[in-house]
């Protein structure tokens, strides 16, 4: 079986989390909802429907969901041509590909948004496959996206590694039985990543790349603090 290097994208490879916070906040404001940016930030990484339920309550008026999501997508879409990749994100994917890992992107983004993220990362030659929110019935923190990604890579959970920046990534990976690596560049606290199942935590892709041999990708399972 192959070894899969599974990567979240928003906040992990591309510096977009705070763009999502701002555009969701504006979408809520336009619809008359007062939702704090801090609360929105902690929900980033969930699929759209789950994010809305998490922030507005399970009993909220779901008839609003499509309009809220459309407003967010329109606002966020204005940034598609200038999404900023995180330092060394592409180099990290290329190095793992060079070392024989099957690199799969596992994201809650829909296909149109994913295309913009892929352009930002600019490492298509290193990516074996992508698994988006459109491909599974349940998104993170359910393990379904990770299971799907492992299937695309023909890889087992044992020996595979998931890199993400949110507690939802860590919970999804842990539930699927893969080793989880957390990155701080998305704005989630180290303690929260640890509690959600991170085996190791790094500052950003460049930090992980610089310490790759001592990371779970190097086989030693090292922990950097």
**Where is 1: in which H helix or E strand?**
none
End residue of a domain, out of 30, 45, 78:
78
**Where is 110: in which H helix or E strand?**
none
Return the bridge partners of 180, or none. Answer: 162
Any domain includes 51: yes
Burial of 23 (0-12, 13-18, 19+ CB in 10 A): buried
Is 183 found in the same domain as 140? yes
Distance of CA 22 to CAs 14, 25, 63, 120, Å? Answer: 16, 5, 22, 19
CATH number at residue 174: 3.40.50.1000
pLDDT average, residue stretch 90-105 = 97
Pair 46, 140: CB distance under 8 Å: yes
The pLDDT of residue 43 is above 60: yes
Any domain includes 58: yes
The pLDDT of residue 206 is above 60: yes
- Please name the residue ranges forming H helices in the chain: 17-30, 37-43, 48-56, 65-77, 89-98, 111-121, 144-153, 167-176, 190-195, 205-210
Is 137 found in the same domain as 158? yes
CATH number at residue 22: 1.10.150
Any domain includes 38: yes
Is 91 found in the same domain as 51? no
Is 11 found in the same domain as 66? no
At 119, phi and psi to the nearest 5? -65, -35
Is 41 found in the same domain as 12? no
- The DSSP output letter for 177 is T
Is 89 found in the same domain as 54? no
Any domain includes 210: yes
- Give me the pLDDT at residue 109, please: 87
How would DSSP label each residue in 135-163?
G-SS-TTSSHHHHHHHHHHTB-STT-EEE
Is 144 found in the same domain as 103? yes
Could you list the residue range(s) of the whole structural domain that residue 158 is in?
A: 4-16+84-218
Is 74 found in the same domain as 104? no
- What percent of the chain is predicted at pLDDT more than 90? 90
Q: pLDDT digits over 152-181, tens only? A: 999 999 999 999 999 999 999 999 999 999
Any domain includes 223: no
The rounded mean pLDDT for the chain is: 94
Is 93 found in the same domain as 188? yes
- Give me the pLDDT at residue 100, please: 96
Strands 127-131, 161-164: pairing is unpaired
Q: pLDDT digits over 121-156, tens only? A: 999 999 999 998 788 889 999 999 999 999 999 999
Is 164 found in the same domain as 57? no
Number of domains making up the chain: 2
Pair 208, 183: CB distance under 8 Å: yes
- Which pair of structure tokens corresponds to residue 147? 């299971």
Cα 28 to Cα 22: distance, rounded to the nearest angstrom:
10
Is 208 found in the same domain as 161? yes
Name which of 72-81, 107-116, 159-168, 193-202 the model is least confident about.
107-116
- Which pair of structure tokens corresponds to residue 118? 């892929």
Is 124 found in the same domain as 90? yes
Residue for token digits 């609003």?
64
């Amino acid at each position: 079986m192959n070894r899969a290097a599974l990567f979240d994208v928003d906040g992990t490879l591309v510096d977009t989390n705070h763009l999502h916070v701002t555009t969701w906040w504006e979408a809520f404001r336009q619809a008359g909802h007062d939702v704090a940016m801090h609360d929105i930030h902690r929900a980033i990484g969930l699929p759209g429907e789950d994010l809305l339920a998490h922030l507005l309550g399970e009993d909220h008026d779901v008839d609003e969901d499509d309009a809220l999501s459309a407003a967010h997508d329109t606002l966020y879409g204005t940034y598609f041509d200038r999404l900023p990749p995180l330092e060394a994100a592409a180099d990290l994917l290329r190095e793992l590909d060079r070392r024989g890992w099957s690199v799969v992107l596992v994201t809650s983004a829909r296909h149109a948004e994913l295309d913009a993220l892929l352009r930002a990362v600019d490492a298509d030659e290193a990516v074996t496959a992508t698994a988006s929110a459109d491909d599974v019935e349940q998104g993170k923190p359910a393990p379904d996206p990770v299971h799907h990604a492992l299937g695309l890579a023909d890889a087992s959970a044992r020996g595979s590694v998931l890199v993400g920046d949110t507690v939802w990534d860590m919970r999804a990976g842990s539930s699927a039985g893969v080793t989880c690596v957390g990155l701080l560049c998305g704005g989630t606290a180290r303690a929260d990543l640890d509690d959600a199942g991170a085996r190791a935590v790094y500052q950003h892709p460049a930090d992980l790349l610089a310490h790759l041999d001592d990371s779970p990708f190097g086989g030693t399972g090292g922990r950097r603090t």
